Amino acid sequence: MYRSPFLNTIAEFMLVRRYSKRTIKSYIAWIKAFINFNAQRHPKEMGAPEIERFLTYLATDRTVSSSTQAVALNSLAFLYNKFLEQPLGDLGAFKRAMRQPKLPSVLTQQEVKSLFKYLEPKYRLTAGLLYGSGLRRMELVRLRVNDIDFDHLQVRVWNGKGFKHRLTTLAPELIPAIRRQIERVDHFLTEDLEIDSYCGVWMPDALARKYPSASKELGWQYLFPSHKLSLEPGTLHIRRHHIDESSVNKAIRLARKKAGIVKQVTSHTLRHSFATHLLQNGADIRTVQQQLGHADVKTTEIYTHVLKQGAFGVKSPLSNLL
């Protein structure tokens, strides 16, 4: 996997403990950067002073964002506290990154409509849930069939950012497409169950122990499954994983070009647009906060800041002259 046996051992350690591939890749990258920054010294020979110098370098020389610096810190805290079992204690003597967050890019409702027009048909439902329910991209691809509550028009999000659960709205207009998608999932499952080596969909450890047969039940299958079976990383289990989240962004970028939209558009742009359009339609800030799963309402307030710009809040004095 990696050229370094040391990094390979860390990756295997994380795989056994069910860390996601995304987290493993990110942590390994920061651990490698830390080792290179310190002239290839082994982490066992270093500690808090070297980590604090590295984090300060990221803030002052690399001018990374506070969230990026936090990921680097979490990676190194994992390395020392869990992998090496050399507790670091308090880490406070480093310069904190202070770069201001960017204002979110938001589409108009007409631009959203145009984007959907040019999306490949197989991605219209995924994009519909990103915009219609304000989901993050990973929350979308990790949805299970039983996360859709048709009766109450809700989508259940489990272990979202910060490992928080929440409920968000479901547009009734998406229901026919979701039912067709579930039929497709059921077809895949019927084929998979014919294979002796099929181990069912991946389940969190606690649920797998509590419901041993659930991995082969329709309700627990991914709503957007991969088109092929694969080996589960770190095991010999044959499973059907969810679609690769990068494919969603690629489809959205292609549709943006075809629609002639100048703004940069990603899956997260649809989430930003969901929040902004809710506020435009009169939803209160606390409701939007709950829908998005923000821990702090200050994070949600960035969308009210967007709305207060230009014609939505401040009238330009030039308008009085012309």
CATH code for the domain of 153:
1.10.443.10
If asked whether residues 74 and 215 sit together in one domain, one would say no
Give CA separation, 11 vs 2, 4, 35, 51, 232, in Å.
9, 11, 16, 20, 14
Average pLDDT over residues 290-301: 88
Do 39 and 123 have their domain in common?
no
Does 64 fall in a domain? yes
Number of domains in the chain: 2
The one catalytic residue in 241, 271, 272, 277 is 271
What pLDDT does 17 receive? 81
- Is 227 a residue of the active site? no
CA angle 253/254/259 to nearest 5° reads 95
Of 161, 216, 237, 253, which residue is the catalytic one?
161
Phi-psi region of 226 (alpha: psi -120 to 50; beta: other; left: phi over 0): beta
Q: For the segment 213-253, what is each residue's pLDDT rounded down to a tens digit?
A: 999 999 999 999 999 999 887 678 999 999 998 999 999 99
Q: 136, 184, 242, 277: which is the annotated catalytic residue?
A: 136
**CB burial string 245-273: b at 16+ within 10 A, e below:** beebbebbeebbeebebeeebbbebbbbb
233 is in which domain, residue-wise? 109-306
Q: What is the CATH number of the domain that holds 66?
A: 1.10.150.130
Q: Is residue 190 located within the same domain as residue 147?
A: yes
Domain shared by 144 and 283, yes or no: yes
Is 320 within a domain?
no
Which residue type does 117 have? K
Tens digits of per-residue pLDDT, 26-65? Answer: 999 999 999 999 999 999 999 889 999 999 999 998 888 8
Q: What is the DSSP string of 158-215?
A: -S-GGG--EEEE--GGGHHHHHHHHHHHHHHHHHHTT-TTB--S---HHHHHH-TTGG
Average pLDDT, the chain: 89
268 is catalytic: yes
d(CA 129, CA 223): 12
- Residues 151 and 283 grouped into a single domain: yes
Whether 272 is in a domain gets the answer yes
Output the pTM of the full model.
0.78
Residue 322 within a domain = no
**Residue 314, in any domain of the structure:** no
Please confirm, yes or no, whether 240 is among the known catalytic residues: no
Residue 93 lies in a domain: no
pLDDT, tens digit (0-9, with 9 covering 90-100), for 177-206: 999 999 999 999 999 999 999 999 998 877
Are 289 and 229 members of one domain? yes
pLDDT reading at 69 higher than 70: yes
Residue 163 shares a structural domain with residue 77? no
Residues 198 and 238 both lie in one domain: yes
271 carries an active-site annotation: yes
Angle at 170 between CA 207 and CA 214, to 5 degrees: 20
Is 303 considered catalytic here? yes
Helices 48-60 and 66-78 cross at an angle (nearest 10°) of 160
